[in-house]
Structure 1
Amino acid sequence: MSSLSLQKKSYSALWFVIVSVLLILHNQVFFPAAVDAKSNVYIVYMGERQHGNLDLITDGHHGMLSEVLGSDEASVESMVYSYKHGFSGFAAKLTEAQAQMFAELPDVVQVIPNRLHKLQTTRSWDYLGLPLDSPTSLLHETKMGDGTIIGLLDTGIWPESEVFSEKGLGPIPSRWNGVCESGELFHGAKACNRKLIGARYLIKGLEAEIGQPFNTTENPDYLSPRDWLGHGTHTSTIAGGSSVHNVSYNGLGLGTVRGGAPRARLAMYKVCWNLYGGVCADADIFKGIDEAIHDGVDVLSLSISSDIPLFSHVDQHDGISIASFHAVVRGIPVVSAAGNSGPSAETVSNTAPWIITVAASTMDRLFATHITLGNNQTITGEAVYLGKDTGFTNLAYPEVSDLLAPRYCESLLPNDTFAAGNVVLCFTSDSSHIAAESVKKAGGLGVIVASNVKNDLSSCSQNFPCIQVSNEIGARILDYIRSTRHPQVRLSPSRTHLGNPVPTKVASFSSRGPSSIAPAILKPDIAGPGFQILGAEPSFVPTSTKYYLMSGTSMATPHVSGAVALLRALNREWSPAAIKSAIVTTAWTTDPSGEPVFAEGQPMKLADPFDFGGGILNPNGAGNPGLVYDMGKDDYILYLCAMGYNNSAIAKVTGRPTSCPCNRPSILDVNLPSITIPNLQYSVSLTRSVTNVGAVDSEYNAVIDPPPGVNIKLEPDGLVFNSKIRTITFRVMVSSARRVSTGFSFGSLAWSDGEHAVRIPISVRSDFTIP
């Protein structure tokens, strides 16, 4: 008998002993689960793998299942995935009792329910300072990201799109270990090329959760890496699409579509499917990240987020957070969406400190639509109206109670006479396209939607005027209606307007901080363009539109992923934390024209760190940050200790013995490029360390902008680097100038050497209610 066979038998026997002892200790006599017991998919997460024998890892997983379920046959039937590349664990169909049994086994870190996650560009890269024709930008310094590999977990990809052309690209990087998997209408050998170098599809976790094979008749999709929903094709365009000139959305936004790293290679992991509008199962996400680690990606981009996190246990049960940890400690930055649940506070998802969490902003492009009132006053709204000039026509407003007005237009019925023959002004708290469809069905000729919550314009019909204005402008139009007996309006087709005075704002839908899980960890980290972004989409028929406008933190995320790919190409030795620090500390806190950034909502306000983290993505600045707040595995262990994880669990997660200090460390000391103090009483002291990545001999002085009512002192307040001193630790003393509880207030700390301003945001809330 081979030594490998002996290993397998001894491994299985060991698990039999462990499980048997646990059953005896719990006074249980084991019988296989009854056939009518409810089973769901659970992820049995075992932390860092203990060795590199992949077959033996999988055999061990089956051995565990066999002992708990009673037979090898039951194990094979139950098993969904074995995770063995980046970490150890498996997904399986289990009853609640069986899941609890696994949770009590000594080698299991966590048993995680298989949650379902939601899916959450011609101008944007020029706006971010990376025009194609600039010889001095980060884009050209990195040869447009040539050689880097961006992995995307999404809805698949449409490989025939021009943005995935391999023209001008060299050989596939030799370190690539991935595959191009064939499936429905997707022949791997033909679909992939030197641009799209890998594609997989992962659906077993979703199918096991719903208890049946995925029905593509009821829910149209392709059982292959091919994209049906268009989301993955769009995000791939933004992150690393090749340049395609003279692209527009039916004439709007004309320019060159390309990704942030146009010469990067792409690998698609299809983990999201056309069910309930687009869902992604934790078990499939785990497998996608596990395979991506094996395949050799340089960056992982996940335009995926969960529902609003309301409880602290989400951190332990969050598949994205746990799986991404293993990517990050292997040097792979993970970029993920903050979510689309804004503008309410504490709605941000993907809150682990090792993830780069992305909010969505608008940019300096406006699809301007002129609204001319009967008194010849012209107002500019936003729309993607491609029809003819309406000429002057009647303008109406539903004079109903204030309580009914925000929903009146949405509730119009086709036989309502109010809208017929009129352009209707609506104040709404809902989506613009719902109001537009209701007015259109009721015989209206157009709709002006007043709201401070901006919606995706492309959801409205292109040939039916559906124009968005702010509540303030809506009030001006209403004053006109009420001041004249026969109000009239003329609506003009939309035109593209670029640059100043179009202001940058944090989009209303973008999820906001603080984190509900760990309020001392600032989230989101950064904001990128995520409103009305033009990208490729599936072309189901030759005459279909090849490019489409989409909005969301899903679109903002690949902007940051593309910038991260450029930074990986520039500095292969930088850690994911160093890259994150470079992005956060160099971000714009005003828009590129120097105007302040506001956050959309009710009411609109100046943006603060809970809206956009460090600020708006500044790729060129991130390429030369001066100093970085670096972190490695030891820093993440500090975070896990501070969050209350025990030594055994941390040791399994990290793959090495761990002993947390007797006195729990402060989460405030995690070396993040931000300082967030959610409950300051009197005073607190914390530390940060910075590493010099600029000129060897450098001197930096502190520039402190304390939050109102807060005093800040530094020791030391100057930093001197040379060939022997590359990293310096400094202490930050924070005290409250007021002895009253307050909401959060905001400031910043910057280290300046005359060339760099290494700025981190500071958020402080005084709380004197705690005994």
Structure 2
Amino acid sequence: MLKLTAVFVLLLLKTVESLDGQEKDYIVYMGGKGETESRVLTASHNDILTSVLGSEEKATASIIYSYKHSFNGFSARLTKEHAEIISRMPNVVSVFPSKTIQLHTTRSWDFLGVAPQQNEMGFSELAGSYDVIVGVVDTGLWPESKSFDDTGLGPVPSRWKGLCNNTGITNTSELFTCTKKIVGGRAYPLSSSSSASNSRSLLGMSTGSPIVQEFNNSRDGTGHGTHTSSTATGVSVSGASLFGLAEGTARGGYSKARVAMYKACWNGGFWSENSIMAAFDDAVYDGVDVLSVSLGGRPKQYDLDGIAIAAFHAVAKGVVVSCSAGNSGPDPKSVANAAPWILTVGASSIDRKIESAILLGNNVTLPGTGLNIFDPKSSYSLVSAGNIATNGSSKFYASRCVAGYVDATKVKGNIVYCILDPDVGFSVAAVANATGVILSGDFYAELLFAFTIPTTLVHESVGKQIESYISSTKNPTATILKSTTLSNVTPAPVVASFSSRGPNAVSPDIVKPDVTAPGLNILAAWPDNSPIFVLNNISYFSSYNIESGTSMSCPHVSGAAALLKAVHPDWSPAAIRSALMTTATILDNTNSPISDFNKSTSGPFDTGAGEINPQKALDPGLVYDITPQDYISYLCESGYNTTQVRLISGDPNTSCKPPKSNATTPFLNYPSIGFMGLTTTSPQSTERIVTNVGAPKSVYTAEITAPSSISIVVEPSSLEFSSTGQKLSYTITATAKNSLPVSMWSFGSITWIASSHTVRSPIAITSATKGMISL
């Protein structure tokens, strides 16, 4: 029964000696929904709170969200003691605090090989036969943007249950308008304990971005959600640019897709886990096919991760969940949203650069990246911040333009050269009176930021040339030139410095991220009321803006997934992910291996399976399919106990057998392969099952790439299919030829090759066992 007895509640209350009165948002997770009606679940949530808090009035004031569509639970303002009482009630699976979550194109789709006519027509006559709906969990959407024009679209699918919620909006100019393109809009208002940030900075740099208007519905006041939504689903808009930069036709990955906004993030910064879970719950009920989620927190166990739990229920209902990997790179084990049922996306560059060059007083021109839309009036004196430290302060921190360490009187009227140190940071306040700023550091050098004063970012090698010029010249000068657009840049793609990296901190045998996609300096739609930057107290607006982050790469994959869903409506979320992974490229536009931001060769923990190739993914030949029950079995084999697995699945009937004592790597039919615990005396084997989605009669031959210290053998070495839909299995065995360093990883691959298909899976191998790799 869902109702609780008053006797049980009173017994629990006796165990509480005192209430400290400190309230915060908690999530009460009660497992799967089953066949229980939503209204019955909502009533049960109110009953629980009423019984614990003592009155219906207090229960109504306490509850924030009732989860009742794809899973059962609620979020409420509770004291720690009340949360503990509820955690011991029947039918309650777990209770945990709601954590703070952080938000993690004209040329990008061209770069990925999605031609405009293909984008509109689909890649085959089947494209568009299924009416795809993409749900976006973000900061909102600007309905008036040309990217969401609904011209030519048919009626909204009858299966759609979503809302266009404008509750409490009285100003008609602020209404969120739904159309045949924008089919829904829900908003999850701020709670008193939620934190938000007005900074638009990708990596915590203080750029002086303006505080903008916010709306209490799904209308976007900050831009992030409009940008991501148009990247995934925007229609073609010619002549789009940011003040003339990156000009071209802006479009999304699948322009026929409908879009629904779930505004759970505010002011472009942070929002709470309870709101994200509510958005997931509603989106699945409404009928989305793809969920694009450009946000996430620190890696954590799946049974303690609200996004992982909500995503599991979405995937179990057939929804593809695409999530950003995070912007905590290049630190290892930093990848977020790494649950095996989530499609995890890293970020890379495209073959376009916005250059703001520097002309030194000796007539040498050096390359830089910056958003400077005005022609310079003249050259200015050039000073190194390290040479103008305040009296007695650290030259080290002054050279990095840390507020309080730089002499403001010596800044005024000059162009200031700063070292941009990701471990220290940078503050506009330190150089507020400067005429311009040059920031040197490889980590940020390719990023386009909107600063309040003319600014350009340069690589360290360029910075050294500037330092040499300053030190060797009596009166050094410089000019920061107006920005220009460079195309056909090589090499590209390059892995973005900020893109979070593997190995997977929770499941090291699951290679994450899964794939990479364009996420560096992406042009997409922007709200007309949200200023790009403020210069000399003047706000500058644009209908399109350039942004960077895995937030931008995620909707590229969401758009590609929408296209695959339109062509293959019967494919599962796992099959769609498999198609995108096994057809991804590991080569750049010079036909060399994709490089990292520091010019080293990237690997599977940087790129996953590689950069997506949507056109090839439509016809992958073979797919690795996975059912929801397969994920449960994998978790059990991974060491999760019955209680923990029930937390994730919501199924009270789930039970786990103790893992085998000699098991090292659990089995999951994943498109990438991980081996753990490999030593010279303990070879490792795993099985994979592939489904033929290509020609009925086809033969695939295995090609293995292995590290020099490891032997990799596959049996059988060829797969012969006689029908479409047929499944065949193979076993792959890794053997160490000599001792492997503990916790070091080696990489290889297995590629199945047929006459017209290449199906590649990365392989990651370590001698460490799971217990040796911790969060």
Shorter-chain TM-score range = 0.7 to 0.9
2:372 to 380, 385, 392: 385
| 1:260-316 deviations in Å (ceiling 9; x for gaps) | 111211101111123xx622211111111111111000100111111x33xx5x422
**Preserved contact between residue 150 and residue 299 of structure 1 (Cα < 8 Å):** yes
Name which of structure 1's ranges 235-244 and 328-337 shifts more when overlaid on structure 2: 235-244
Q: Is the 8 A contact 2:348 2:496 kept in 1?
A: yes
- 1:263 and 2:264 matched: no
**Residue in 2 that maps onto 1:201:** 187
Three-state SS of the structure 1 residue aligned to 2:747 is strand
Change (3 A) 1:595 1:146: farther
Q: Is the CA contact 1:366–1:502 (under 8 Å) kept in the aligned structure 2?
A: no
Deviation at 1:719, TM superposition (A): 1.1
Query: Structure 1 residues 465, 162: closer, same or farther in 2, change over 3 A?
Result: same
Aligned partner of 2:627 in structure 1 is 632
Correspondence for 1:349 among 336, 344, 349: 336
Q: CA deviation at 1:448?
A: 5.0
Q: Distance in 2 between matches of 1:196 and 1:136?
A: 18
**Is the 1:202–1:271 contact (alpha carbons within 8 Å) kept by the matching residues of 2?**
yes
Question: Compared with structure 1, are the counterparts of its residues 386 and 70 closer, same or farther at alpha carbon in structure 2 (3 Å cutoff)?
Answer: closer
Deviation at 1:460, TM superposition (A): 2.3
Shift of 1:117: 0.6
Relative to structure 2, which stretch is displaced further, 425-434 or 557-566?
Answer: 425-434
Cα contact 1:405–1:427 (8 A) shared by 2: no
2:546 corresponds to 1:546: no
Whether the aligned pair in 1 keeps the contact of 2:712 and 2:733 (CA below 8 Å) is: yes
Summarize the Cα distance change of 1:136–1:54 in structure 2 as closer, same or farther, 3 Å threshold: closer
Taking structure 1 as reference, are residues 629 and 769 closer, same or farther at Cα in structure 2, changes over 3 Å only? Answer: closer
Q: Render the CA deviation track for 1:452-498: whole Å, top value 9, x for unaligned.
A: 3336423224xx54222211222233344445555454443221111
Q: Answer whether contact 1:337 1:554 (CA < 8 A) is retained.
A: yes
> SS of 2:669's equivalent?
coil
- Following TM superposition, by how much is the alpha carbon of 1:88 offset from its aligned partner in structure 2, in angstroms? 1.0
Tell me the SS of whatever aligns to 1:273.
coil
Amino acid in the other structure paired with 1:56: V
Match of 1:318 among 302, 305, 312: 305
Given that 1:114 and 1:209 are in contact with CA atoms closer than 8 Å, whether structure 2 keeps it comes out as no
Output the CA distance in 2 between the equivalents of 1:576 and 1:705.
28
Deviation track 1:735-762 (CA, whole Å, cap 9, x = no partner) reads 2222141521222111111322211111
Q: For residue 220 of structure 2, what is the aligned residue in structure 1?
A: 227
How many angstroms apart in 2 are the aligned matches of 1:200 and 1:637? 31
Equivalent in the alignment of 1:215: none
Partner in structure 2 of residue 523 of structure 1: 512
Does structure 1 conserve the Cα–Cα contact (< 8 Å) formed by 2:700 and 2:718?
Answer: yes
What's the offset of the Cα at 1:188? 9.8
Q: Evaluate the alpha carbon distance shift between residue 624 and residue 497 of structure 1 in structure 2; reply closer, same or farther with a 3 A threshold.
A: same
Q: Is 1:642 aligned with 2:637? A: yes
Partner in structure 1 of residue 238 of structure 2: 245
Say if 2:139 is the partner of 1:155: yes
Tell me by how many angstroms 1:435 deviates.
6.1
Using the TM superposition, give the Cα deviation of residue 732 of structure 1 relative to its aligned residue in structure 2, in angstroms: 1.5
2:87 is aligned to 103
Q: Aligned ranges for residues 430-441 of structure 1 at < 5 Å?
A: 430=422, 434=426, 438-439=430-431, 441=433
Whole-angstrom CA distance in 2 between matches of 1:540 and 1:770: 51
In the alignment, what sits opposite 2:595?
Answer: 598
- Kept in 1, the 8 Å contact 2:159–2:287? The answer is yes
Following superposition of structure 1 onto structure 2, how do residues 325-340 of structure 1 map, counting pairs within 5 Å?
325-340=312-327
1:452 aligns with 2:457: no
Kindly state the Cα deviation for residue 189 of structure 1 after the two structures are TM-superposed. Answer: 8.3
- Is the 8 Å Cα contact of residues 634 and 666 (structure 2) preserved in structure 1? no
2:349 is aligned to: 362
Match of 1:176 in 2: 160
Aligned to 2:277: 286
Does the 8 Å CA contact 2:638/2:666 hold for their aligned counterparts?
A: no
Cα 1:71–1:559 change in 2 (3 A) is same
Matched residue, 2:756? 755
Contact 1:391/1:491 (CA < 8 Å) preserved in 2? Answer: no
- Describe the SS at the equivalent of 1:680: coil
Shift of 1:99: 2.1
Conserved in 2, the CA contact under 8 Å of 1:668 and 1:676? Answer: no
Deviations 1:644-666 (A, max 9, x none): 33336545725373343343576
Once the 2 structures are TM-superposed, how far is the Cα of residue 172 of structure 1 from its aligned partner?
A: 0.7
Alpha-carbon distance in structure 2 between the residues aligned to 1:455 and 1:422: 24
Q: Match for residue 693 of structure 1?
A: 693
Correspondence 1:371-410 to 2 at 5 A: 371-389=358-376, 394-398=381-385, 404=396, 407-410=399-402
Distance in 2 separating the partners of 1:422 and 1:180: 51
- Separation of aligned partners in 2, 1:475 and 1:529: 29
Q: Which runs of 5+ in 2 are unaligned?
A: 197-210, 532-539
Q: 1:260 to 1:434 in 2, by over 3 A?
A: same
AA in 2 matched with 1:107: N
Secondary structure at 1:404's aligned position in 2? helix
- Structure 1 equivalent of residue 730 of structure 2: 730
Out of 603-612 and 565-574, give the one that drifted further. 603-612
Tell me the equivalent position of 1:661: 657
Is contact 1:186–1:226 with CA below 8 Å preserved after alignment?
no
Structure 2 partner of 1:297: 288
> What is the CA–CA distance in structure 2 between the aligned matches of 1:657 and 1:703, rounded to whole Å?
42
SS at match of 1:129: coil
How far did 1:77 drift?
Answer: 3.4
Structure 1 residue aligned with 2:766:
765
Aligned to 2:199: none
* Whole-Å separation in 2 of the counterparts to 1:770 and 1:164: 49
The letter of the residue matching 1:76 is T
Shifted more, 750-759 versus 679-688: the winner is 679-688
Return the alpha-carbon distance in structure 1 between the equivalents of residues 108 and 215 of structure 2.
30
Letter in 1 for 2:731: R
Q: How many residues align?
A: 737
8 Å CA contact 1:161–1:536 kept in 2: the answer is yes
Separation in structure 2 between the aligned mates of residue 377 and residue 106 of structure 1, nearest angstrom = 74
Aligned to 1:537: 526
User: Considering only aligned residues, what root-mean-square deviation do their CA atoms show, in Å?
Assistant: 3.2
Per-residue deviation at 1:187? Answer: 8.0
Q: Check conservation: 1:436, 1:447, Cα contact below 8 A.
A: no
Letter in 2 for 1:765: T
Q: Which range moves more in the overlay, 134-143 or 571-580?
A: 134-143
Q: Which amino acid aligns with 1:360?
A: A
Superposed CA offset, 1:143-178 (max 9, x none): 579721000111111111111211111111111111
User: What SS does structure 2 have at the residue aligned with 1:671?
Assistant: coil
> Deviation digits for residues 527-586 of structure 1, max 9, x if unmatched?
111111112222228983222111111111111111110010010111001111111111
Contact 1:679/1:765 (8 A) holds in 2? yes
Q: 1:61 aligns with which of 33, 41, 45?
A: 45
Q: Which stretch has the larger CA shift, 314-323 or 61-70?
A: 61-70
Matched-pair identity in %:
38
Runs of at least 5 residues in structure 1 that lack an aligned partner in the other structure: 1-9, 212-217
**Corresponding letter in the other structure for 1:29:** K
Distance 1:146 1:723, change over 3 A: closer
8 A contact 2:695–2:723 mirrored in 1: no
Q: Specify whether residues 404 and 86 from structure 1 end up closer, same or farther in structure 2 by C-alpha distance, changes over 3 A only.
A: same
Q: 1:467 is matched with which residue?
A: 456
- 482-491 or 697-706, which deviates more: 482-491
Q: Distance in 1 between matches of 2:477 and 2:496?
A: 31
CA distance, structure 2, for counterparts of residue 198 and residue 620 of structure 1: 29
Q: CA deviation at 1:137?
A: 8.3
Rounded Cα–Cα distance in structure 2 between residues aligned with 1:345 and 1:619: 28
Q: Taking structure 1 as reference, are residues 207 and 455 closer, same or farther at Cα in structure 2, changes over 3 Å only? A: farther
Q: Distance in 2 between matches of 1:92 and 1:254?
A: 47
Partners of 1:681 and 1:406 lie apart in 2 by 50
Provide closer, same or farther for how the CA distance between residues 666 and 455 of structure 1 changes in structure 2, counting only shifts above 3 A: same
C-alpha distance in structure 1 between counterparts of 2:186 and 2:341, whole Å: 25
